[in-house]
Structure 1
Amino acid sequence: MSARRDPSGRRQAIVEAAADLIVESASTDLTHRRVAERAQVPLGATTYYFATLADLTTAALHHLAELADEALREMEGYLAAGGGAPAAVARSLSDYLADPRRVQADSALYFAGAQHSELRPLALRWFDGMTRILSAHTDPEAARAVAVYADGAMMHALVHDEPLDMAAITRAVTALMGAAPAASTTPGRDR
């Protein structure tokens, strides 16, 4: 079906194109022209569906937030299957940090929320969702501490060539969740 006959498909293509541009440029500074080119639609289509760039940007950020919600649902299932053990939390966080596109998308939400208070609820969805998920496996204070650590690890991943390694993430998550550390393999060494 052509885009002309599928207005909701055309609108969705415009939103996804805008979201891609936000993620790639790490900025919410969009233009109708750039979005139209990315979506492969006439320039007039972007202004038809979104009268202002603010409307288009907000729709794109909502799309990114929905993608974050999907990732949180995946994490929730993974952690449930792993019994919420710190190792499962660390593996899930490590997998997330190894996906630069997801990290950039979530950071775009954070930056938008920091710049525009009306967008802050979108930025907080990841943190609040992670805290809720982790609270099923540890106390709420520890869940918040792990979520704060995840935020910091996300920022670290943005500015370094590679994210934190699995061992570092596991040590931090284990400590934050208050779980007993793995037994030392060094003879005569007390923990």
Structure 2
Amino acid sequence: MTGRDAPRGRRRDPEGRRRAIVEAACALIPDTGIHGLSHRLVAARAGVPLGATTYYFTDLADLSRAALEHAAARWTEELRAWATALRDSDDVPAALAALAARYAEDRPRALIEAELYTAAARRPELRPLAHLWFDGLVRVLRAHTTPAAATATALLLDGALLRALRDEDPVDVTELTAALRTLMGDGPEVSGRR
């Protein structure tokens, strides 16, 4: 049998294997935290030989960074969806509170973000990733309020989401909506379409 005759299922897919490793590491972070990741756990979760994880990633710092970059790409997509929902809303504070509540319901995603924030405090190379969500949220919010109020609103949302994560309680949408109205003001950008 020549190399051309080999079954198609046996073809090498280096990019697919690397992606599987990254996705497995990302999926493990909510359970193990970044510091609990190991090449062995990731290989088992990805269904690849242990040596594959060290082939593609020189160390656990490299692997955890790739997993966090993968998660950050999803946050960028989420922010686009938030921008659309807020643009189409007649009540931006209420819509924003509902979006935050739905975000907090996805506990694994919220845990990954919290892990990234903590890791960035110790690993400066992760700080740009940690800023992606916050800075992107501020940009989205500036279309609906002043720059200062946009920053204050993003800070409030970060705190509300961390509190919901810490306490394993849902976000109180009524309470959050009232706080957002206070921060964002009552202008036409907030209470309705421009």
Give me the TM-score of the superposition, normalised by structure 2.
Answer: 0.86
Residue type of the alignment partner of 2:25? A
How far apart are residue 83 of structure 1 and its match?
A: 5.0
Residue of structure 1 equivalent to 2:53: 46
Structure-to-structure mapping, 1:40-189, within 5 angstroms: 40-82=47-89, 85-179=92-186
* Runs of 5+ consecutive residues of structure 1 not aligned to the other structure: 181-191
Q: Which range moved further: 82-91 or 98-107?
A: 82-91
Deviations 1:60-100 (A, max 9, x none): 11111111111111111111111572122222112212221
Residue type of the alignment partner of 1:149? L
Contact 1:68 1:106 in 2 (8 A): no
The counterpart of 1:22, out of the listed 10, 26, 29, is 29
Percent of pairs identical after alignment? 49
Distance 1:12 1:149 in 2: 34
Distance 1:72 1:2 in 2: 37
Higher RCO (Cα < 8 Å, 6 or more apart): 2
Task: Provide closer, same or farther for how the CA distance between residues 131 and 32 of structure 1 changes in structure 2, counting only shifts above 3 A.
Answer: same
Could you say which structure has the higher helix fraction?
A: 2
RMSD, aligned α-carbons: 1.7
Residue type of the alignment partner of 1:88? A
Aligned pairs, number: 180
How far apart are residue 124 of structure 1 and its match?
A: 0.8
Deviations 1:98-125 (A, max 9, x none): 2212211211221121121110110111
Q: Which range moved further: 76-85 or 49-58?
A: 76-85
Give me the TM-score of the superposition, normalised by structure 1.
Answer: 0.88
Distance 1:2 1:71 in 2: 34
Distance 2:14 2:171 in 1: 43
Contact 2:22 2:70 in 1 (8 A): yes
